[in-house]
Structure 1
Amino acid sequence: MARRGKVLRGIGVGALWLVLVVLAAVLGVVWWAKATSAPQVSGDVILGGLSGPVTVNRDQWGVPHIRAGSDEDAVFALGYVHWQDRAWQMDFQRRVVAGRLSEVLGEPALAQDKFLRTWGFQKAAESVLPALSERSRGLVGAYTAGVNAAMKRGKVAPEFRILGYTPEPWREVDSVSWSKLMAYDLGGNMDDEVLNTRVVQRLGEQGLDEVTAPYPADGPTILSGEELAKTGIQPGTGLNTATLPASALSALQAHLNAARELGLQAVPGKGSNDWVIGGSRTASGKPILADDPHLSLTSPMLWYLADIQGPTLKAIGASIPGLPAIVIGRNERVAWGVTNTNPDVQDLYIEPADASFSQRQEIIKVKGGTDVPLTVRESKHGPVVSDVGAADVGPRVALKWTALQPGDTTMDAFLGLNYAQNWSDFTQALTTYIAPSQNFVYADVDGNTGYYAPGKVPLRDGWDGSLPVSGDGSREWTDYIPFECLPHVYNPADGLVVTANNKVVPGSYPYNLGNSRNWAEPYRAGRITDLLTAKPEGLTVNDVKAVQLDTVSLVWRDMKDTLLATQPAGDLSRQALELLRGWDGNERADTVPPAIFESWLMHLQRMARDELGNGTTLNSLSVLKQLQADGELCRDEAAGIQNCAAQLSASLKAAVDDLSARLGGNPTGWTYGKLHHVASNHRAFGNVKALAWLFNHGAPTSGGTNTVNVARPEQDTFNQTHGPSYRQIVDLSDPNKSVYIGSLGQGGNPLGNHVSDQQPMWIAGEYLPMSTNAADWGKVKTLTLTPQK
């Protein structure tokens, strides 16, 4: 207290008065902004566009439970509450797709806009609406009307005030456009092709298996050979690549860098988990279905929990603001979950000199600057992604991708799932699914379970798609895998399907989904399977919760003996090794060993940077293979490192020196949670110091690289920027006993009551009731939407 008094006296009365005035002004602005941006959540509102009254009961966590007399009115209300709670997020998302960020963010967003317009996400989105079914078009129209009705109510999100612009009316195309960016985030491999090209040019073809280790021959696959329908003809494989010059690599890397700035990137350990357990394994005798999609953790969070009930549309789960459907969830009879399948659905074509191109002119408006013209060229394969906005410069590399093909009907599929009453309805809906290919797990109240991996997956004759190819016509897609031949199973005999982005099918599958480097490492899938099969029957929702929240590292198990045999280079290294001995691999935030292990692994993952550049990060499996084989990547001549033993010593020293600089010189104080925080940051203001405190949300978290509860520390910062963005566990014996949780909160307004109230529960491993029963909602605020007469 005495020290505080000295500080205040040192400031001086005048300066202190100024501080108090500024503080009062800030608080006044906060109060005013909250008053003018808070949505109306109770009372009555008269609106045009409704056919009957709708009630919106927001529970104690802000989750809306919508009750309407028609399905269209229910979806209208979903659009209404989406805009009320997530207006900025929705506008930002459609601006991303359209490449219109520079209009409101200025010149710093220009690279992102060039990337987005060159790829043509908006162009692809505009081809979607005419291809949708009549039911889907009607629901999209109702949703759009609901969004615009909310927009007219005059409440303005703080971001609009700060940036000084008014959002435009919502259009139907805006309700399907974000799916294109989701397809990019989850369903491409251009970054793999760019990396693979650099690897082959620097290390030869043998280097591919060193930098990205092939999926282990004994690793778990989603479907076993016995579960596969062995139909179709096995295509040939082979690399057959064309030469990609350094200038083209640089141009393509510019696109990948722009995508990374938007949070769209491939990162080691990024993925998702879902599984379905048959009644033969559960205490209730009915299935349990679990899902936790691992995506960027942002503020506001991607997902919006909702319960939508009309006469026939009766779905509850996770929606995405801007989309008129429950994306992951259940209805009164059927539950579903998704993870990324990750087949190879993108190819880079080096176009020959005589190739023909169409072109279009784009104008990018820049806030505070002059308009920027952009020429976009397209070949028969797709957009030329090597121009970086300047036609006729350098080699012409075009991208072919399933998500850019016209007439995408994926929205029909998701809306169809909301209505599905059985396996037949479910699979029929998935026949319209295009991209991104996902692993769908299924369960119903009658006790049936299943799995399907829908989506357009190209067939290649004589090449495997892992490297760029010539666009001279010799390497074309011949067709797509027929829907009935895509991986699927219904009521598997062992009563269990586990997916964790691992390899989908064994070698007996008659089609090529991708090369052996396409799949996530087997650690999460193996751990989930081990935990679930350890109790062969009598599994409960609580058992499933424990699996979703598991933070034991199988990476540590596989590397432990090699790491502990390291020769320490100094006293800090010796102490660190002693702290690791006897560790069980559980990456808890309140313990020290995870900080040492993850920091050490982080440095080992950089071992290929002397060969391939500073952006290269190996996955855990590749690191393990190098250490086991005393691989070439361990060597670093410039640093005097001649083998993997020396690499282990040097990387451990680098890791502990880094920890010492961050946390002090006593290793017993290196608690993981001091470093490892979830970073749910705002897309626009997350790095603006004056605003970050208001818009960003962080807290210590457990988990690490490839734990089931994924929480990979980001290189250099240790932040957790990706992870379980949503969790659900559906109990088909009593669906209202199901549970779910988001990573942050329902609200998008940083001044609102529900902006981050789910985050502490999410970190602690708690859940909300996924119930349509009002008795489970707690204190409710009711808003009645009444049609205008």
Structure 2
Amino acid sequence: MTQGQADRAGRNEKKRRRSPWALLGRGLLGLAALLLLAGGGAFAWLKSTSGAQRSGAVTVAGVSGPVTVTRDAWGVPHIRAATDADAVYALGFVHWQDRAWQMDFQRRVAQGRLSEVLGGAALEQDRFLRTWGFGRAAQAALPALSAQSRALIRAYTAGVNAAQAQGKTALEFRILGYTPEPWQDVDSVSWSKLMAFDLGGNYEEEVLGAQVVRALGEDGLNQVTAPYPAGAPTILSADELTGAAQSLTGAVSSGTDGTQAGGSQVAPPQGPGLPQETVQALRSHLLAARALGMQAVPGKGSNDWVIAGSRTASGKPILADDPHLGLTAPMLWYLADVQGDRLKAIGASIPGLPAIVIGRNDRVAWGVTNVNPDVQDLYIEPEDAPLTSRREVIRVKGQPDVTLTVRSSAHGPIISDAGARTVGPRVALKWTALQGGDTTMDAFLGLNYAQNWADFTGALRSYVAPSQNFVYADVDGNTGHYAPGRVPIRSGWDGSLPVSGDGSREWQGFIPFEQLPHTLNPADGLVVTANNQVVPGPGSRALGNDRNWAEPYRAQRITDLLSAAGKLTVPDVQRVQLDTTSLVWADLRGPLLATRPGSDRARQALEQLRAWDGNETTGSVPATLFEAWLMQLQEMGRDELGTDTVMNSLSVLNQLREADGSGELCAVNGQGDCAALLTRTLDTALADLQGRLGPDMKTWTYGRLHTVASNHRAFGNVQALAWLFNHSAPTPGGTNTVNVARPEHGTFRQTHGPSYRQVVDLANPNDSVFIGSLGQDGNPLGAHAADQQPRWIAGEYLPMSTDQADWGRVSTLTLKP
């Protein structure tokens, strides 16, 4: 191990020890020891006291008639009720039965109340969450929802609390020694705020941008974060945009106040510069978010696409989706089939939310990926800007309460205050998700009821954040795409850097719904989204700057595979979802193979790579070599920026393609060129791999190093308990493969990826398939805690069917009034 690697390992170990979960673990060693000493009897007792009732009958308050919950062979509930309210009640009931800890943890994160149960180790996370005001934003959103949504949320809340009243307690509550509070309606809104943060990383990009400009000037922005390449695939072509959205191709769209969006996007005159101490204060929020698993990850994204009947063997559409999010234990998603009198939806729900988020009903299917428009801005407030203040009292387990003063300007919360200290200029955050009138829950509930394109788009009018690419298909053969959400109109600046809060750089309303990108029945019968640029030309800048979009590799590979396959079937689409061939390797192959080897081992590695087809399977040695080398190359900007910046692969490629071989970031402290960098980083990568895998390169198969890490949100880094709660296994795929599985920088673990997959067949909806990344049960001792993971890795699916003949062995629980 080199000295640099040792230093990084030391820093990572210190961070791990400082994390709230690692600190918490020191107090849990005794419990783990007791469990081990007690042996099987202790586990049997824990399983019996935390396992929920899943068969027979139970009398509950709040339903109007009997409701059946039939769990299939994989633990997926199929709910049948006479009314929609009773069906949603039952969804709340089973969510709490199977995911009580997850639900309570999520609402505590949203409210900034982790310290109450975890102690002072979680104080920095609570400070971040209270300062941003996620819980306050959720409280403000609830009254804006429609009467129907509020009624369904009330029914869901009643179901959650009925399950809680049954007395079964999740294992985590026992370990931490507390009893969860009753569910409240606002708790069902709060998680959407955290999802909006997880899927909206412009704040982090602006902080990085401030560092880049300080170190390299504004020209450095395009070096560190490469612009989307000209000619790369966009989600919609100019001729596919429908109606008023066609105005985006001319980069002109009228706001509600008559101003124009997407016009000349010039580099902004910057406000006062951000001193390093202010940047560090801003980054402290990022570190707190990362400790909670909320982070922007290079290469993180999602895929979805819809194929018209003209391209399929059945003559009806096929719709596919696989959202790429954090892989946790328990998994984020909860598969469910919910049917009342009008509600007939099946797909992926999120515990805590009273809706199917991704899926289908009896007529319509939909999928989502992140649009990632620029909906956040940092404002450097003048010294005379008026501020308001509020006191937040954070209760800390075993310690005195901590009082936090949160200041806000007209733009939003001041997020540059470091704890109780003011650090340099006051920087405020303006973000669509923190503003009032958020009716996103109306949209998701409305989608569950949609029967046609008009219903579908009508529901999406209520959508606020996080903006998503919705693909659409129906049993009548229609296909479409819509990118809803509040997208600010800026005039004269592109939102990529902090600006002055003196009033010269204000939002001019939002792009009207009709002018947001959308299409119905495109002529070529195909819409592919992979977080790539949405529309071509300058119109894309109405949504964000040229660096907003994911690299085009996944979008290109999906389009190539679907276009080459002839008349498509559901198995064809499954194979595309599971593809692990790297177009990143195809782009970097030339520069990498031209490297001058610095050792015999480097020469051997280059020969391995020369014969490689780019398929990142678990048995591949070249996949290991490539990802380890790429990881080293992605650090090339660190000496210039003085940060832990990880550049994306497109930025690396642009540096290596410099005509004279002297990309500015290739040099180390101003010395050397790209050729020297390639030689040095290959040697460093090989030394790292030898330290991890031993001296024999032939044994360096990818699966030995690259494993999925579905870790528990609280106990994942607690050595005494991780063995019980975490789930790991070798996985294929890599950076920007369709089956995305980017190795985590420094560990090679896969922490993000296709958290859920679905392929919907509109010719026969019950022939559709879906699968989650882990399992239905949040109880680590439960039969369905991780039974989907082997199938998910192997590329298998479960039947997404409402027909009991497809459910296998079942158990039925009846909820009786």
Which residue of 657, 663, 668 corresponds with 1:636? 668
Q: Where do 1:251-650 residues align within 5 Å?
A: 251-390=281-420, 392-507=422-537, 509=539, 512-535=542-565, 537-629=566-658, 630=661, 631-637=663-669, 642-650=672-680
Describe the superposition over 1:710-762 as per-residue Cα deviations: whole angstroms up to 9, x where unpaired: 00001111000000000000000000000000000000001111000000000
Describe the shift of the 1:207–1:779 C-alpha distance in structure 2 as closer, same or farther (beyond 3 A): same
Does residue 176 of the first structure (1) align with residue 189 of the second (2)?
yes
Alpha-carbon shift at residue 266 of structure 1 (Å): 1.0
Does residue 743 of the first structure (1) align with residue 759 of the second (2)?
no
2:27 paired residue number = none
Alpha-carbon shift at residue 773 of structure 1 (Å): 0.3
- What TM-score, normalized by structure 1, do the two folds share? 0.96
1:30 paired residue number = 43
Q: Where do 1:694-713 residues align within 5 Å?
A: 694-713=724-743
Q: What is the RMSD computed on CA atoms of the aligned residues? A: 1.3
Alpha-carbon shift at residue 614 of structure 1 (Å): 3.9
Describe the superposition over 1:562-609 as per-residue Cα deviations: whole angstroms up to 9, x where unpaired: 101111111111111111111000000011110000000000000111
Separation in structure 2 between the aligned mates of residue 74 and residue 773 of structure 1, nearest angstrom: 17
2:74 paired residue number = 61
Describe the superposition over 1:292-340 as per-residue Cα deviations: whole angstroms up to 9, x where unpaired: 0000000000000000000100000000000000000000000000000
Which residue of 788, 793, 797 corresponds with 1:763? 793
Does residue 237 of the first structure (1) align with residue 250 of the second (2)?
no
SS in 2 for 1:531: helix
SS in 2 for 1:547: helix
Does residue 659 of the first structure (1) align with residue 693 of the second (2)?
no
Alpha-carbon shift at residue 26 of structure 1 (Å): 3.5
Q: Aligned letter for 2:668?
A: D
Q: Aligned letter for 1:637?
A: N
Q: Aligned letter for 2:246?
A: K
2:4 paired residue number = none
Alpha-carbon shift at residue 31 of structure 1 (Å): 1.4
Q: Aligned letter for 1:587?
A: E
Q: Aligned letter for 1:342?
A: N
SS in 2 for 1:407: coil
Alpha-carbon shift at residue 511 of structure 1 (Å): 6.0
Separation in structure 1 between the aligned mates of residue 684 and residue 398 of structure 2, nearest angstrom: 44
Which residue of 122, 135, 146 corresponds with 1:122? 135
Alpha-carbon shift at residue 108 of structure 1 (Å): 1.3
Describe the superposition over 1:109-162 as per-residue Cα deviations: whole angstroms up to 9, x where unpaired: 111100000000000000111100010000000000000000000000000000
Describe the shift of the 1:599–1:188 C-alpha distance in structure 2 as closer, same or farther (beyond 3 A): closer
Separation in structure 1 between the aligned mates of residue 373 and residue 515 of structure 2, nearest angstrom: 14
Separation in structure 2 between the aligned mates of residue 294 and residue 202 of structure 1, nearest angstrom: 32
SS in 1 for 2:585: helix
CA contact (8 A) 1:349 1:398 kept: yes
Does residue 677 of the first structure (1) align with residue 690 of the second (2)?
no
Separation in structure 2 between the aligned mates of residue 725 and residue 201 of structure 1, nearest angstrom: 37
Stretch deviating more after TM superposition (572-581 or 731-740) = 572-581
1:16 paired residue number = none
Alpha-carbon shift at residue 284 of structure 1 (Å): 0.2
Describe the shift of the 1:237–1:328 C-alpha distance in structure 2 as closer, same or farther (beyond 3 A): same
1:214 paired residue number = 227
Separation in structure 2 between the aligned mates of residue 510 and residue 292 of structure 1, nearest angstrom: 24
Alpha-carbon shift at residue 23 of structure 1 (Å): 4.2
CA contact (8 A) 2:235 2:527 kept: yes
Describe the superposition over 1:687-723 as per-residue Cα deviations: whole angstroms up to 9, x where unpaired: 0111000000000000000000000001111000000
CA contact (8 A) 2:666 2:672 kept: yes
Describe the shift of the 1:469–1:20 C-alpha distance in structure 2 as closer, same or farther (beyond 3 A): closer
SS in 1 for 2:519: strand
Describe the shift of the 1:182–1:510 C-alpha distance in structure 2 as closer, same or farther (beyond 3 A): closer
1:110 paired residue number = 123
Alpha-carbon shift at residue 28 of structure 1 (Å): 2.4
Separation in structure 2 between the aligned mates of residue 89 and residue 505 of structure 1, nearest angstrom: 38
CA contact (8 A) 1:549 1:709 kept: yes
Stretch deviating more after TM superposition (339-348 or 558-567) = 558-567
CA contact (8 A) 2:349 2:356 kept: yes
Which residue of 100, 104, 108 corresponds with 1:87? 100
Separation in structure 2 between the aligned mates of residue 674 and residue 753 of structure 1, nearest angstrom: 27
CA contact (8 A) 1:680 1:696 kept: yes
Separation in structure 2 between the aligned mates of residue 21 and residue 666 of structure 1, nearest angstrom: 41
SS in 2 for 1:757: coil
Describe the shift of the 1:40–1:741 C-alpha distance in structure 2 as closer, same or farther (beyond 3 A): same
Separation in structure 2 between the aligned mates of residue 489 and residue 715 of structure 1, nearest angstrom: 38
SS in 2 for 1:436: coil
Separation in structure 1 between the aligned mates of residue 275 and residue 472 of structure 2, nearest angstrom: 46
- Structure 1 outlier segments of 4+, above 4 Å: 19-24
Alpha-carbon shift at residue 391 of structure 1 (Å): 5.6
CA contact (8 A) 2:201 2:296 kept: no
Describe the shift of the 1:180–1:23 C-alpha distance in structure 2 as closer, same or farther (beyond 3 A): closer
Alpha-carbon shift at residue 236 of structure 1 (Å): 2.7
Separation in structure 2 between the aligned mates of residue 223 and residue 39 of structure 1, nearest angstrom: 47
2:203 paired residue number = 190
SS in 2 for 1:106: helix
The size of the alignment, in residue pairs, is 766
Stretch deviating more after TM superposition (510-519 or 395-404) = 510-519
Separation in structure 1 between the aligned mates of residue 497 and residue 34 of structure 2, nearest angstrom: 61
Q: Which runs of 5+ in 2 are unaligned?
A: 1-31, 248-252, 254-259
Q: Aligned letter for 1:237?
A: Q
CA contact (8 A) 1:481 1:511 kept: no
Separation in structure 2 between the aligned mates of residue 181 and residue 57 of structure 1, nearest angstrom: 31
1:75 paired residue number = 88
CA contact (8 A) 2:327 2:751 kept: yes
Instruction: Report the identity percentage.
Output: 71
CA contact (8 A) 1:188 1:345 kept: no
Stretch deviating more after TM superposition (221-230 or 579-588) = 221-230
Does residue 149 of the first structure (1) align with residue 162 of the second (2)?
yes
CA contact (8 A) 2:494 2:541 kept: no
SS in 2 for 1:479: coil
- What TM-score, normalized by structure 2, do the two folds share? 0.93
Describe the superposition over 1:630-678 as per-residue Cα deviations: whole angstroms up to 9, x where unpaired: 311000038xx50000000000000011111111111111000000000
1:3 paired residue number = none
